[in-house]
Amino acid sequence: MGLSTSFGRSRLVVSLVAAASLISTSTCLPGLREASHTPLAQLRSVQTNETVLPYQNASLCIDERVEDLLARMTLEEKAGQLFHTQLQQGPNGTLDLGNATAFRNSTENMVAEKLMTHFNLVGEVQDVGVVAGWYNRVQELALSTRLGIPITLSSDPRHSFTVCQILHSFRVQSQQI
């Protein structure tokens, strides 16, 4: 089954909308777009002094931005949106270099080469300042890719419980029934 299937396209659109929602957007209400729309020729990137592309233009509605981004994406970039794998920090908040023995790809490999943008953060947070610095480095890496699609991170608190904690909880609830 290809990405052109309804299910595949729906998953991709959900992923892109999630990424796009990290950026300020306006809705497509009649009259609103026309009143707040700035011609693209006048929109300039602060860092590169280039014209802002439609998918980067926060004054456009999400539907327009997603359609523009989808049209620009390669098959590899679309496939990268469908993954949600684990990502961890390197020492002292550096990007993870990977571990061939543990079959773990480096952050650079997953973001810049495999074009993945959705990750589950692995490991404990000991120092929020270190994690914030690491997160900024991950976003800088994402910005260096062709389309600069931001990284989304999630955590998995459900799996932070041990089997003993789950079994104890189950026994207590079962005894109450």
Shared domain for 102 and 176, answered yes or no, is: yes
So what's the pLDDT on residue 86? 87
Lowest mean pLDDT among 43-47, 97-101, 138-142: 43-47
Show the domain range for 145: 83-177
Shared domain for 31 and 93, answered yes or no, is: no
Shared domain for 68 and 91, answered yes or no, is: no
Domain boundary among 74, 103, 121: 74
pTM of the model: 0.62
Residue 147 · residue 77 · CB < 8 Å: yes
SS3 (DSSP) at 101: coil
Give the confidence band of 127 by pLDDT, cuts at 50, 70, 90.
Answer: confident
Which residue, 59, 53, 17, is CA-closest to 37?
59
Task: Count up the domains in the chain and report the number.
Answer: 2
When the pLDDT of each residue in the chain is averaged and rounded to a whole number, the result is 74
